[in-house]
Each structure stands twice: as structure tokens, then as C-alpha cells.
Amino acid sequence: MQNQNTIFPKSLKKGDKIAIISPAGSVEENQLEKTLALIKSKGYEPVLGENLYTKFQNGYSYAGTEEQRIKDINWALNDPDISAIWASRGGYGCQHLVQHLDLKEFKKNPKWFIGYSDNTVIQSYLLKKGFASIHGQTIKTSSFGVIDESYDLTFDILKGKFPTYKIESTEYNRVGETSGTLVGGNLALIYALLGTKYSFDFQDKILFIEDIGENFYAMDRMIMSLELAGVFKKIKGLIVGGMINMGKENENKSYEESFDPFVNQQIANRVSQYDFPTVFNFPNGHIYDNRPLIIGSEITMKVGKDVKIKF
């Protein structure tokens, strides 16, 4: 459902151009070939950013210097021939760009931005400016792969068809029904933006969080920061997605669970004093079953014997 306070980009048509950029970590050409071919098979033209495959080592393998990555994203945002923007991957580096984003021409011709993980920074910025985006699979798939529906559902959104999700309930869910604007993404980046002017506005929103590779104490630190910042007093609902490769302080633990039960319990305990509906094990995040969400969309969320989330 379109939020009257949020601008949704127009639907794409066959032949439209999709900019492919690397705003954070570096990628290899062979990591993108399959998805680029998929985009072409759907009738769209992928246009590669100048620095898509650039590498710059500075304590991390970035896809170019900050200046190069800023140049690519501002080109993609503002070029009138581009109809959507798809991030090659996440990693780290989007925080370098956010102070330098230019939306002058983008405001005249809004376009979908697609990505997740570190791209949460860009999506938070866009929503602060009033624009919806797609929290979905990047061009590069992770080592554990991704279901075909992840891309199929993303192409549906690009064509103007929004999803309705039905999933099984879990023991940690809190029953209830609510509606509100969806915000969020990767918890580490939501946490990193707290206290800055680029942070999401959480008032009366439904918050989505997901993460990968965090120690249990680090996860608790981030959730505590949301608590101390008053986030849980403001939101109307909480959706917890993939929590994978967590708790590495325990060397005997399996790291391949998409939805870590101990993390679910951690979060459920932290929000137990509140009464908003809560959903765990939602299929979005650094996981094989990664289904797209629309940040900035008005959603309804019904939590009972099963869960229904409608956009």
C-alpha cells in the first residue's frame, strides 16, 4: 500500500535501463554475471557504473575510493535515462557517501533503489527525503545462494505489483494487529545511524531488523541502544528477519541457522515490556530465502496462529 507521505517511483517498462553500482564493498565480474543475465532476460538493460568493478584497499576492499563511489551513485540517482538502481552488494562503505548524495534530478524522476545489508544507509537517507526503496537481494548472491522468488518478487515490485506475505508463527511472536510505515533493514547500520540526522524516524513506524555474524553480546548492545534511544516506545510493530552466523564466542555453535533461536529469545526478552505485535523468522536478510520488503510502504501486520503482512 502506498504511503501518502512517501513518494513511490514509477513502474518500469520493458527496455528501461537499470544502473548497477557498487556503493560499498568490491566485487568480481563473475559474481554478477548470473543476475545481470537475469535482468536482461526480463527485458531491462543493465548499465554498469564506471567503478562497478574498481578495487581500493584501505583496511577493507572497497569498490573504489570514496570519490569514485560518490560519483557512481550520484550518476545513477540523477541520470534521466536510468529508471532504477541496483546495488551489486553491501559490505561496508555506504556511510562514506551519505553526506554527499545529490537528489536534484532524482526528485524530478524518482527511481527504485534496490539493495540490503550496508545499503540500509542509503535507504534510510532516501526515506528521510520522502522516497520509498526496496530492501531486497543485491546483484551478487551470497555463498549460501538465494531463492528464485527473491528476484521474481523484486521484478514484480518494479512492475508495480506489491507483495502479501504469509508465514508460520513462532513461539516468540506477540499476537496483535497493526499498521504503519515500514522502516529498517540491517540492525548494525540502524544502530550506526542512531543519533545522526540520517537515522530513521521511528515514531508510529513498523521496524524491520536483520543481521549476520554478530556475537551475542554485540547483538544485545545494539538492541539496548535502540531501547536507550526510545525506539521501542515509538514503534507500532517489530519484524525480525534473518539472524545468521550469530554467537561466534561459542565455538561449538552451528553458524548456519537462518533464524537463531537464542537471538530471537534475546530480542523477545528486551521488548517484553512493550505491547506492540512482534514477528520473528521473517524471510528477509542474509539468508537463502530473502524476499523483498518496501521501505517506506504502509503495511498491515496481523499476528496470530499465522502471520500475514500486506503491502
Cβ contacts of 231 within 8 Å, gap of 6 or more = 202, 207
Residues 168 and 261 grouped into a single domain: yes
Q: Is the domain of 102 the same as that of 197? A: no
10-residue mean pLDDT series, the chain (311 residues): 86 98 98 98 98 98 98 98 98 98 98 98 98 98 91 98 97 98 98 98 98 96 98 98 85 69 96 98 97 98 98 97
Inside any domain, residue 7 = no
Do the domain assignments include residue 9?
Answer: no
Q: Are strands 205-212 and 82-87 parallel, antiparallel or unpaired?
A: unpaired
Tell me, yes or no, whether 306 lies in a domain. yes
CA distance linking residue 47 with residue 33, whole number of Å? 13
CB 157 within 8 A of CB 295: no
216/88 same-domain check: no
Coil, strand or helix at 121: helix
- The verdict on 237 and 152 lying in the same domain is no
Residue 67 neighbours by CB under 8 Å, 6+ apart:
none
* Residues 175 and 301 both lie in one domain: yes
My answer on whether 111 and 200 are in the same domain is no
Domain identity same for 151 and 284: no
Please report whether residue 4 resides in a domain.
no
- Dist CA 113 CA 16 (whole Å): 14
Q: Is residue 125 part of a domain?
A: yes
Final residue belonging to a domain, choices 158, 182, 212: 158
Q: Is residue 2 part of a domain?
A: no
Q: Are 267 and 304 found together in one domain?
A: yes
Lookup: cell for 211: 543481521
Could you say which of 92, 127, 158 is where a domain stops? Answer: 158
Q: Are residues 72 and 170 in the same domain?
A: no
What's the CATH code of the domain at 262? Answer: 3.50.30.60
Q: Choose among 91, 114, 123: nearest CA to 212.
A: 91
Containing structural domain, residue 205? 164-310
pLDDT at residue 280 in the model: 98
Last residue of one domain, picked from the residues 109, 138, 158? 158
The radius of gyration of the chain from alpha carbons, rounded to an integer in Å, stands at: 18
The reported pLDDT for the residue numbered 142 is 84
CATH code (residue 65): 3.40.50.10740
- Residue 200: half-sphere exposure toward Cβ, Cα within 13 Å: 32
The reply to whether 64 and 185 lie within a common domain is no
Structural domain count of the chain: 2
* Residue 143 lies inside a defined structural domain of this protein: yes
> Where does residue 259 rank: exposed (0-12), middle (13-18), buried (19+ CB within 10 A)?
buried
**Residues 113 and 134 sit within 8 Å (Cβ to Cβ):** yes
Question: How far is the C-alpha of 290 from the C-alpha of 282, rounded, in Å?
Answer: 9
Decide if 165 contacts 241 (C-beta within 8 A). Answer: no
CA–CA separation, 241 vs 99, rounded Å?
28
Are residues 187 and 293 both part of a single domain? yes
Question: Of the candidates 173, 115, 169, which has an alpha carbon nearest to the alpha carbon of residue 141?
Answer: 115
Grid cell for residue 109: 524522476
| pLDDT at site 149 | 96
Residue 79 lies in a domain: yes
Buried b (16+ CB within 10 A) or exposed e, 242-251: bbbbbbeeee
Q: What is the pLDDT, as a whole number, of residue 4? A: 74
Q: pTM for this one?
A: 0.96
Q: Are residues 32 and 80 in the same domain?
A: yes
DSSP state letter for 214: -
